[in-house]
Structure 1
Amino acid sequence: MKSSKITALILCFCLMLSMTACRSDNSTENKTNSNKSASGSAVTENKKTSHDVSDVDGPALKDLYAKYFMMGAAINGSDKSTAAIHHEGMANILKKHYNSTTLSNLMKPCYLLDEKACVKKGKKNANATDVSLNFDSCKESLDFCKENGIKMRGHTLVWHNQTPEWFFKKNYDAKKGYVSKKVMAKRMENYIKGVLEYCKKNYPGVVYCFDVVNECVDDGTGDDSVNWNCRTTFNGGDNFWYATMGTDYVEKAFTYARKYAEKGMKLIYNDYNVYVPAKEQNIYNLVKGLKEKNLIDGIGLQPTVDLYNPDELKGDSYDSFENCLKKYAELNVDIQITELSFKIDEETGERDEKSLKRQADRYQEMFELLKKMDTASGGPCNITSVTVFGICDDYPLYDDLVQCLYLWDKNAKPKESFYRVREVGESK
């Protein structure tokens, strides 16, 4: 009797340890400081409610638009455990409707750079250029794409945001001074080499393009010694790339990417406010210069639009999205729509019938425009992919995020916006 009681106590204790471990496995760490990506408090356990998007009648979006461009949706999440592939509904939507995706966070430098390993090298050499990487954050998503025949847009190699300050400093120590331009160029090269060779070796043909440089054209006062107004600051501090390498950092990044990229991978410059006339011209100038040196294959356009701005997506107004597409088409490069969404007030999350209808109208207008402008319809633009920058509203893997941006609601049920996009795809 005494022996059986002891056995029962041991079993009870083991069960408690097991439950504690499960709770621990679901903890997350938010490394991102981007305000454009899904972020919030992670749910305490993976939500595995049944979501079968096959109950949505009609063909997949990727099939409807196959003649024109690849259809993409971003895998949001600020930690590998909260990536969209871990939510059954969002994973099913990706598999059925999309042939392209991108990681909104998990492939950025702050996730891939292995600080502990780099610091160890930096202690031996203040000007160390060896770069240690850890792909744990993105491996599961890359595996998901490989297994399900989905291509991935790499996002992003060189950006002034979400790249840690220590990477630019002596000894890999944020408290030290900047390294020289020569040392930083070598660190950049080794970083780009490491990322691209990892993709080439482990996921051949999966990562079909990469945002090599992100958002380096300044909206206001930048370095106008070049004809594209290079960004010099960020959030009141330095643009670390500019501080160490000057305006040359952009061309250097594309040079290294061209050197190490898998054959056929497209190299992209990605930016926002692309239809604002002054910035539009600067982006045009930058891409034109890179194309003349055979360093770039395409331009990624973040529409940065909402329910009412700009007033016109179509039409001839000076800041219409249609006019910006015509302008960039003159460069004769691939055009990709990279971070598309139409937001309803994110703070209140108010979703009245009028706002939801307006959102659906805007999605319809955008996809009508993109079909019209694509070369498959006789238009001037070689549009190769269109990516909605998320899948479900109110990101289902977080408890407290309020967002109304996308084609599916929090329960992975299609919204009116989804049906409008599908109707445009079905129309002749």
Structure 2
Amino acid sequence: MRPLILALALALAVPPLALAAPATAAGPGSGSAHGPRDLRDLARKHRISIGSAVDVAALRAEPDYRTVLNREFDHVTAENAMKWESVEPERGVHTWDDADEVVRNARRHGQRVRGHTLVWHNQLPGWLTRGVADGTIDAAELRTILREHITTQVRRYKGKIRAWDVVNEALEEDGTLRQSIWLTHLGPGYIADAFRWAHRADPHAKLYLNDYNVEWNAPKIEGTLTLVKELQAQKVPIDGMGFQGHLGIQYGYPGDWANVMRRFADLGLEIAITEMDVRMVLPVTPEKLATQAEYYGRALSDCLSVKACREFTVWGFTDRHSWVPGWFDGEGAACLFDENLAPKPAYETLLATRRVSGR
């Protein structure tokens, strides 16, 4: 996700071993015989994936951005390049160049890929939303269009995507299903349909439900758990739960997050932190950076304490390209690296984070 979400969320708000990376230059971490030298090294030591969302324009145009991305991360997510409005801006006319570039760069650099996202209520192409609004696309046709979209996109990247965020942000804050275009016109069965269609298109990809505020919001946690159990009772192929992890230091850290992860893991799901960032009210101060570092470190520690947590992905790694300032007035500085790609205290805190329990 994001842009185009969390505008209403003003509250708080790892696979088998990752593919081996090619030789890369040493990172900015101090490193030692016992400590990791960069985030890739940290991922290897903890046997999880550590990833970042990718801004494809920066990937193409900024050599320093590419260098840090490919040095530090063994897992990537297309920030916007795989969303529906990006891949099919006109009906039947697909534009795969940006998504292909993310996948191509990942394969060159030994990174696994998270597909994001197949079904969401935002960043839909205009032809689709207009057609539904004016009645030229009825419910039966909408269901066909959704099936074709999922099938086409998943098949294109079959064998190249480790995991898909199949349905993104399906619940309201009170734990009920979101009143989206999909629920309104297709009913609650669209969720099960989406997972089944994605599984048929690539039986080996891990299929996730992904949402925000599930780190702490009790009604949403309970509603999401209920949804997962209902899907499992219907034999729907759901493999994982993604916690977005958009936090702010002006709010308390979600202190029960590890236990919430375990509740989903106890249902047999993989766990991933999929969109981690920690914003602050500007201006930046050393004290705020220290609190931010604490939040990042606690989140990784929580993940490492849960055996089923396979992935820790940040939603962009540099403040140069963060979505936060555009959506939270007066807030920013949410990433591990600043605008000049200098590592912040949070980066060093991640390198120093150790497993609390065996995995």
Does residue 1:75 correspond to 2:44, yes or no? no
Q: 1:427 to 1:331 in 2, by over 3 A?
A: closer
Name the structure 2 match of 1:356. Answer: 289
1:148 deviates by: 1.0
State the partner residue of 2:309.
383
Equivalent position of 2:112 in the other structure: 151
CA shift, 1:36, in A, is 6.0
Contact 1:64 1:426 in 2 (8 A): no
- Aligned-residue offset at 1:215: 0.3
What is the rounded CA distance, in whole Å, between the counterparts of 1:400 and 1:179 in structure 2? 33
1:107-148, Cα deviation, whole Å (9 max, x unpaired): 100101141xx2xxxxxxxxxxxx442212322211111111
* Paired letter, 2:101: E
Which amino acid is 1:392 matched to?
T
Please state if 1:302 is matched with 2:272.
no
Deviations 1:222-252 (A, max 9, x none): xxxxxx62111xxxxxx22123212121111
Query: 189, 197, 206: which is aligned to 1:248?
Result: 189
Residue identity matched to 1:296: I
Q: SS of 2:162's equivalent?
A: strand
Q: Displacement, 1:400?
A: 9.4
Q: Which residue of structure 1 aligns with residue 11 of structure 2?
A: none
Aligned to 1:25: none
Aligned to 1:273: 213
The CA distance in 1 between the partners of 2:293 and 2:242, in whole Å, is 23
Distance (Å, rounded) in 2 between the aligned partners of 1:392 and 1:384: 23
Q: Does 1:374 align with 2:306?
A: yes
Match of 2:280 among 328, 341, 344: 344
What stretches of structure 1 move > 6 A for 4+ residues in a row?
A: 399-402
Structure 2 equivalent of residue 223 of structure 1: none
How much is the aligned-residue C-alpha RMSD, in angstroms?
2.7
Q: Give the match for residue 113 of structure 1.
A: 88
CA distance in 2, matches of 1:149, 1:199: 16
Question: In the alignment, is the contact (CA less than 8 A) between 2:147 and 2:197 conserved in 1?
Answer: yes
Cα distance in 2, alignment partners of residues 403 and 72 from structure 1: 20
**DSSP 3-state at the match of 2:300:** helix
Deviation at 1:295, TM superposition (A): 1.6
| Counterparts in 2 of 1:162 and 1:312: CA distance versus 1, 3 Å | closer
Using the TM superposition, give the Cα deviation of residue 305 of structure 1 relative to its aligned residue in structure 2, in angstroms: 2.1
Q: Map Cα deviations across residues 355-403 of structure 1 (whole Å, 9 max, x no partner).
A: 11111121122222222x232xxxxxx0111101111113299x99973
Deviation readout 1:298-328 (Å, 9 max, x if unpaired): 0101123221433453xxxxxx212312222
Q: Assess if the C-alpha contact under 8 Å between 2:28 and 2:38 holds in 1.
A: no
* Residue equivalent to 1:136: 97
Distance 1:291 1:108, change over 3 A: same
TM-score (norm 1): 0.70
Larger radius of gyration: 1
SS class of match (1:296):
coil
- Indicate the residue corresponding to 2:176 in structure 1: 229
Aligned to 1:199: 157
Give secondary structure in 2 for the equivalent of 1:391.
coil
Q: Could you tell me which amino acid in structure 1 is paired with residue 102 of structure 2?
A: S
Query: Structure 1's 62 and 427: CA in aligned 2 closer, same or farther, altered over 3 A?
Result: farther
| Match runs of 1:201-216 below 5 Å | 204=159, 206-216=160-170
Name the SS for the 2:163 alignment partner.
strand
Structure 1 residues 102, 356: closer, same or farther in 2, change over 3 A?
same
CA contact (8 A) 2:207 2:239 kept: yes
Deviation at 1:174, TM superposition (A): 6.4
* CA distance in structure 2 between the aligned counterparts of 1:273 and 1:207, rounded to whole angstroms: 25
SS in 2 for 1:305: strand
Q: Distance in 2 between matches of 1:304 and 1:185?
A: 31
**Offset of residue 60 of structure 1:** 2.5
**Percent identity at matched positions?**
25
Relative contact order (C-alpha < 8 Å, sep 6+): which is higher?
2
Tell me by how many angstroms 1:84 deviates.
3.7
Measure how far apart 1:426 and its partner are.
8.9
Match of 1:412 in 2: 341
2:122 aligned with 1:161: yes
Aligned to 2:68: 93
Look up the SS of the partner of 2:213 in the other structure. coil
1:178–1:244 Cα contact (<8 Å) kept? no
Give distance in 2, aligned partners of 1:175 and 1:279.
29
Structure 1: runs of 5+ lacking an equivalent: 1-31, 38-51, 119-130, 221-227, 233-238, 314-319, 376-381
Aligned counterparts of 1:136 and 1:212: Cα–Cα separation in 2: 21
Any unmatched runs of 5+ in structure 2? 8-24, 32-36
| C-alpha spacing 1:154/1:311, structure 2 compared with 1 (3 Å) | closer
Matched, 1:332 2:273: no
Task: State whether residues 342 and 359 of structure 1, in contact with CA within 8 Å, keep that contact through their aligned partners in structure 2.
Answer: yes
Q: TM-score, normalised by structure 2?
A: 0.83
2:293–2:345 contact (8 Å) kept in structure 1: yes
Structure 1's 285 and 386: CA in aligned 2 closer, same or farther, altered over 3 A?
Answer: same
